[in-house]
């Protein structure tokens, strides 16, 4: 039996209209605790024309969450330019409920949002032959800074959720930790024919809203840590002469780990190490091809042949063939400090490069891997500051 008051409104509709989220949650039978994490934005929600609040979704939360087979394509829906994108989803509201109960966070958002909008009547209309279609709509008005994720049951738009970029979360480098998690979760997965990685869609999205700079999946605001990725496998890696730059994780086809970046830091400009280790050159050109994607870097460096064999070094190469090459051709570049409790003081950390050729009478390098060295207090005899051009 369907309960309603004298105005024909169900208890759920009244709870939604009054903004009583506790009653809404109880009446809708929502048990997806992760859904509240996705849509909770400190109580600030965008109001619709009817006065209802839209659930708000952070795209970076989605890419690191458990999603069903339909929602895993969510990353391909994001576009840097303003557009309308339509994507077929599950065949019925019941299937969305089943997917939500199985743990899909986006389906949980859609389930509750659809129920909030049209109430218990959705179960009467959502038979197996009613298709549910997801639409990502970017408002054409320049003063609008949000995208709307619309859900249609049949031809009727029944609900929408707002994709948002929380400026408080994405300022001062606070977005970087979920970004690294997103890269780890999505790396190695080809989401389009041109092998564009899923997180790059979110990079474009964040750049559009926050005016941050991201090149080949590396954020300029955290360039040192962004370079400290490592390949988890060397079995399926590849190098493309005309592809992304070698200093970017997008240049290889392999699962990526950013564990070093999450536990490392660049040398503090006010620390005594800055005079010894150096920092990155500020010149970052606009990038359209690999030659223009050169990373100019100034750092203390040394060749493999001059490393102290008594010091403890660990090397993680990007490609299988790098392990069999003669180590004498490699150069180590110090970039920062890896915080390791077992060592007390932080350890040296940086990247390994090798000469690829000459450009404008200067050697041109490609990245070959990442290394961990002894503590930052170790002797640096044999290390010399040099400038490198890495493509």
Averaged over successive runs of 10 residues, the pLDDT of the chain (391 residues) comes to 40 49 43 38 41 62 73 62 60 80 84 69 53 58 58 65 62 66 71 50 63 77 87 66 81 86 78 70 47 80 85 85 64 88 75 85 89 87 88 87
Q: What pLDDT does residue 247 have?
A: 92
The three-state secondary structure class of 280 is strand
Q: Tell me which of 136, 167, 198 is where a domain ends.
A: 167
Q: What pLDDT does residue 84 have?
A: 57
The tokens for 46 are 């965008």
Q: What pLDDT does residue 339 have?
A: 84
Same domain, 231 and 162: no
Same domain, 158 and 231: no
Position 72 in a domain: yes
Look at the alpha carbons of 355, 361, 362, 364 in this order and tell me if their dihedral is positive or negative.
Answer: negative
Q: Could you give the count of Cα atoms lying within 13 Å of 40 in the half-sphere of its Cβ?
A: 8
The three-state secondary structure class of 263 is coil
Same domain, 302 and 383: yes
Residue found under tokens 């997965």: 189
Same domain, 44 and 159: yes
Position 122 in a domain: yes
Position 189 in a domain: no
Long-range contacts of 116-120 (CB under 8 A, 24+ apart): 116/12, 116/16, 116/24, 116/28, 116/52, 116/159, 117/52, 117/158, 117/159, 118/158, 118/159, 119/10, 119/12, 119/13, 120/2, 120/10, 120/12
Position 361 in a domain: yes
Q: What pLDDT does residue 182 have?
A: 75
Q: Tell me which of 117, 151, 167 is where a domain ends.
A: 167
Q: Are 55 and 43 in contact (CB under 8 A)?
A: no
Position 281 in a domain: yes
Same domain, 163 and 284: no
Position 320 in a domain: yes
Same domain, 33 and 114: yes
The tokens for 353 are 């490069």
Position 96 in a domain: yes
- Number of structural domains in the chain: 2
Same domain, 136 and 244: no
Same domain, 234 and 334: yes
Same domain, 147 and 28: yes
Same domain, 157 and 232: no
Same domain, 129 and 247: no
Tell me the residue range of the domain where 315 lies.
Answer: 227-253+263-390
Residue 197 — φ and ψ, nearest 5°? -75, 150
Q: Tell me which of 148, 167, 186 is where a domain ends.
A: 167
- C-alpha distances out from residue 17 to 20, 157, 159, 389, Å: 8, 19, 15, 60
Distance of alpha carbon 225 from alpha carbon 171, whole angstroms: 17
Q: Could you give the count of Cα atoms lying within 13 Å of 49 in the half-sphere of its Cβ?
A: 1
The tokens for 86 are 């339509």
Length of the chain: 391
The pTM is what?
A: 0.66
Position 106 in a domain: yes
Same domain, 82 and 155: yes
> Bridge-partner residues for 84, per DSSP?
137
């Amino acid at each position: 039996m369907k309960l309603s008051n004298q105005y024909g409104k169900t208890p759920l509709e009244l709870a939604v209209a009054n903004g009583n989220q506790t009653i809404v949650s109880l009446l809708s039978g929502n048990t997806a605790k992760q859904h509240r994490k996705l849509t909770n934005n400190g109580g600030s929600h965008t109001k619709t024309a009817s006065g209802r609040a839209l659930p708000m979704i952070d795209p970076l939360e989605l890419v690191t969450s458990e999603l069903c087979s339909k929602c895993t394509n969510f990353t391909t829906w994001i576009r840097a330019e303003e557009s309308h994108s339509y994507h077929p989803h599950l065949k019925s509201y019941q299937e969305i409920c089943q997917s939500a109960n199985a743990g899909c966070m986006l389906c949980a958002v859609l389930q509750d949002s659809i129920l909030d909008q049209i109430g218990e009547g959705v179960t009467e209309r959502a038979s197996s032959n009613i298709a549910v279609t997801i639409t990502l709509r970017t408002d054409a008005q320049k003063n609008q800074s949000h995208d709307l994720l619309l859900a249609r049951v049949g031809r009727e738009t029944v609900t929408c959720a707002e994709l948002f970029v929380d400026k408080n979360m994405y300022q001062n480098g606070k977005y970087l930790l979920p970004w690294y998690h997103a890269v780890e979760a999505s790396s190695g997965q080809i989401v389009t024919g041109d092998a564009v990685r899923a997180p790059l869609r979110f990079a474009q999205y964040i750049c559009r809203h926050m005016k941050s700079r991201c090149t080949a999946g590396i954020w300029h605001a955290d360039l040192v840590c962004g370079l400290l990725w490592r390949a988890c496998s060397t079995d399926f890696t590849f190098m493309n002469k005309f592809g992304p730059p070698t200093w970017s994780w997008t240049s290889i086809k392999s699962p990526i780990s950013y564990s070093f970046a999450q536990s490392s830091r660049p040398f503090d400009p006010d620390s005594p190490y800055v005079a010894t280790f150096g920092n990155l050159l500020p010149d970052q050109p606009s990038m359209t091809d690999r030659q223009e994607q050169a990373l100019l870097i100034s750092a203390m460096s040394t060749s493999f042949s001059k490393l102290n064999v008594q010091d403890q070094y660990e090397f993680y190469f990007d490609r299988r063939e790098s392990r069999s090459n003669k180590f004498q051709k490699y150069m180590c570049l110090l970039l920062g400090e890896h915080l390791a409790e077992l060592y007390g003081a932080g350890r040296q950390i940086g990247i390994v490069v090798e000469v690829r050729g000459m450009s404008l009478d200067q050697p041109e390098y490609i990245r070959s891997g990442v290394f961990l060295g002894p503590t930052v207090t170790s002797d640096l005899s044999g290390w010399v500051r040099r400038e490198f051009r890495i493509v």
